[in-house]
Structure 1
Amino acid sequence: MAGTNDSQTFRIAISGYYGFRNSGDEAVLRSILLALKEEGDKQGMRVEPIVLSADPAWTTAMYGVEAVHRMKPGDVLRAIRSSHGLISGGGSLLQDVTSGKTIPYYIGIMKLAQWLGKPTFAYAQGIGPINRRSMDWMIRSAMRRSKYVSVRDAESAALLGRIGMPLDRIDVVPDPVMGLPLPEGSPAAEPRAGADETPPVIGVSLRRWREDGADMVRAAEALVALSKRRPVRLRFLPFHTPSDRVTSEEVMERLSGRLGEGSTAELAAPGDDPQAMLLEVSRCDALFGMRLHALIYAANQQIPMLGLSYDPKIDQFLNRLNLRPIGTTESLDAEAFADEACALLGAPEAWRSKHGPAIETLKQQAKNPAQQILQILRQYRSR
């Protein structure tokens, strides 16, 4: 690697849903940080991230980077002013389903950077759903003034196109987490179940969506149906604590006393580190996932998966692997689920042979945004 000096040091502010200890979003941040460091090393550049976080002390302790509070205007202003550019993303930042304040916040951060003369970059964004058309002009303005825009699926690109962003300026890339490695020093993967009588491990990632809980009732019935076909070890993986932990415990309570002979249910506690959760997923024989990043983790490690859709982003990701959801929060057939799960457990290598090439392509493409952003920053600074 070429030696670095002050002229090759780039401070980059990073805006996203960080510091909330949501495993999926924290995995996005970890993936972006690793990609920037790897690409910076290749290009002879030193990258100094500044993360806008809901919990700066925790973010600094977790990732070893500078962080400021995302809701303190003075801190945000100083962080962006001291940077050479701003990355917005990844994740589903530009949508108005969770809150009408989400889009104004993230676009506001981008516009602030642009007003300060800093180049902005959209990093593997998931765009939409956007129900309030009054948001279009804000998004169009910020994106058209950005130096590089990448989205994580074709549907997001099409939505930006309808808003008024030229399609030839949009790079469609995978979610950054497709490139996330296992923790350094991770033990070698244990042999998959099947060689002996050990029940296969089924990772289960659920989130409460319907207010009446009917979706979780159907998920529990599907898991019961599978357990009665063959012994399984259901390992619940809470991606967003404490909410997913509570949901997992409620579903496990529904399973109590109903599982087939030889089947068990347990709750994993991998901690806050997203790579620890990736390691948990890597030890599964199959995964039943509702959280997007649970499915992405499974793809990352080529773990056969069954996705339960609650949002178009689930369908969009599965489509990139030539897969379809096993059901939705409105409809899930327990026996059809058991049929498909048994088929995956019976022929995992056939699944990997069929979907592995698409997965490997996505893992390679996940590196594109970091490459593009650092090249642009070098050119921008040399002017």
Structure 2
Amino acid sequence: MGTAVLQGQTGPQIRRVVISGYYGFRNSGDEAVLKSILFALAEEGAAQGVRIEPVVLSVDPAWTTAMYGVEAVHRMKLGEIVRALRGSDGLISGGGSLLQDATGAATIPYYTGIIKLAQLLRKPTFIYAQGIGPVNRRWMDRLIRGVMRRSAYVSVRDAESAELLWRMGVPRDRIDVVPDPVMALPLPAAQPLADASAPAAAADSPLPVVGVSLRHWRKDGADLARAAAALGALARSRAVRLRFLPFHTPADAETSRQVIAQLGELGASVAEIAELGDDPQQMLLEVSRCDALFGMRLHALIYAANQRVPLVGLSYDPKIDQFLNRLGLKAVGTTESLDPDAFAAAMGRLLDDPAQWRASHGPAIDRLKEEARMPAKQIAAKIR
């Protein structure tokens, strides 16, 4: 492999690995995926005597380098990408929902193109816990099938993604089904609030804190109106602190403001928006301080499960149902249908007896946290 060297007979092997994903956009969920991958690669590599030096493809390389202390190059500058790949020992593609065409026709060609380029340069490629689909343009199947078949390791984050790859022509025995990498993300070593001027969460609140993570989805806003009605019903049924957590700024912050404006009379309850920095671990810390969480964003639900915070999910995409199913849960509603009274009752049960929720779902959470390290373990072994 191109840059591999030995640091004496007893030192670790060094492997440079390019990482491709939706990075540098400051989407908390995707940044959490990157940080989780970096943690896992460092730890699993060290356990196997290899030091993995990542090079991240980012839309904002300077920000990515400052945030994570790793080398980064621009994800849209072909010359920089080629140089990074030539000087590397392999490419990791993932995680997240990279291979789907719901966000546009260019997404799949971009990510499969990066993988194909690495393969043309004779670099091993590794697919890291990706969520595959939806793929509505059937001509894209061959793009995905081609790069998957030539990859040294393929892992996806749910059984549905594995089934879709199989239908495209990727052998089942070449696909590992693993959890999202964020299930293994640790809390920050030191735990100050990201913004000391922002109100503290659960630790200092006399009211139970309900984390809320919503995103804009329906163009007419009817889904947000339904969420506001449900949250309003909860707030009027008992005194709670609704703490809105913007996972993708500034869009989610604006969505949160729109929902708060529709809550109506809150009685003894309060509603607020958390103002956090860009560090995913600070958001994980914020979620850990909640007594329960109502989430529409996938990674809000994953953060809650990671920290064993009782959660209620609102489905807008199959990936929400797929994750909830792995915990033995079902969504409380969808963007098309959400009953306020049923929501208030479900959330009330979590607030009244969180220990019962943890006892019921803790074993599944423990299993997912352990399995989330499998891709890093496999990659460290294969790239040595």
Question: 2: CA distance between counterparts of 1:253 and 1:337?
Answer: 19
Please give the TM-score of this superposition, normalised by the length of structure 1: 0.94
Go from structure 1 to structure 2 and tell me whether the alpha carbon gap of 1:98 and 1:203 turns closer, same or farther (over 3 Å shift). same
2:320 equivalent among 298, 308, 314: 314
Question: Which position in structure 2 is the counterpart of 1:381?
Answer: none
**What is the CA–CA distance in structure 2 between the aligned matches of 1:229 and 1:7, rounded to whole Å?**
59
Aligned to 1:359: 365
The residue aligned with 1:333 is: 339
Indicate conservation of the 8 Å contact 1:22/1:241, yes or no: yes
In structure 2, what is the Cα distance between the partners aligned to 1:7 and 1:343? 51
Partner of 2:265: 258
Q: 1:311 to 1:283 in 2, by over 3 A?
A: same
Q: CA deviation at 1:252?
A: 1.1
Q: Match for residue 85 of structure 1?
A: 90
1:229 corresponding residue in structure 2? 237
Equivalent positions of 1:249-288 (< 5 A) are: 249-255=257-263, 257-259=264-266, 261-288=267-294
Q: Does 1:14 align with 2:19?
A: yes
Q: Note the C-alpha offset of 1:253.
A: 1.4
Q: CA deviation at 1:197?
A: 9.2
> Which range moved further: 179-188 or 282-291?
179-188
CA pair 45-253 structure 1, distance change in 2 beyond 3 A: same
- Structure 2 residue matching 1:127: 3-state secondary structure: coil
Q: Is the 8 A contact 1:178 1:363 kept in 2?
A: yes
Please say if residues 142 and 168 of structure 2, whose CA atoms lie closer than 8 Å, have aligned partners that are also in contact: yes
Gaps of 5+ in 1: 379-383
Equivalence map 1:1-383=2 (5 Å): 4=7, 8-186=13-191, 198-255=206-263, 257-259=264-266, 261-378=267-384
SS in 2 for 1:331: coil
SS at match of 1:68: strand
SS at match of 2:303: helix
- Following TM superposition, where does structure 1 have runs of at least 4 consecutive aligned residues deviating by more than 6 angstroms? 190-193
Percentage of pairs with the same residue: 69
The one-letter amino acid paired with 2:144 is I
Compared CA separation, residues 197 and 110, structure 1 to 2 (3 A)? closer
Give how far 1:192 is off. Answer: 6.6
3-state SS in 2 of match to 1:61? helix
CA contact (8 A) 1:14 1:88 kept: yes
Task: Classify 1:340/1:213 alpha carbon distance in 2 versus 1 (closer, same or farther; 3 Å).
Answer: same
Counterpart-to-counterpart distance in 2, 1:313 and 1:158? 14
Structure 2 unaligned spans of 5+ = 1-5, 194-199
Tell me the TM-score normalized by structure 2.
0.94
Please give the per-residue CA displacement for 1:137-166, whole angstroms capped at 9, x wherever unaligned.
010000000000000000000000000000
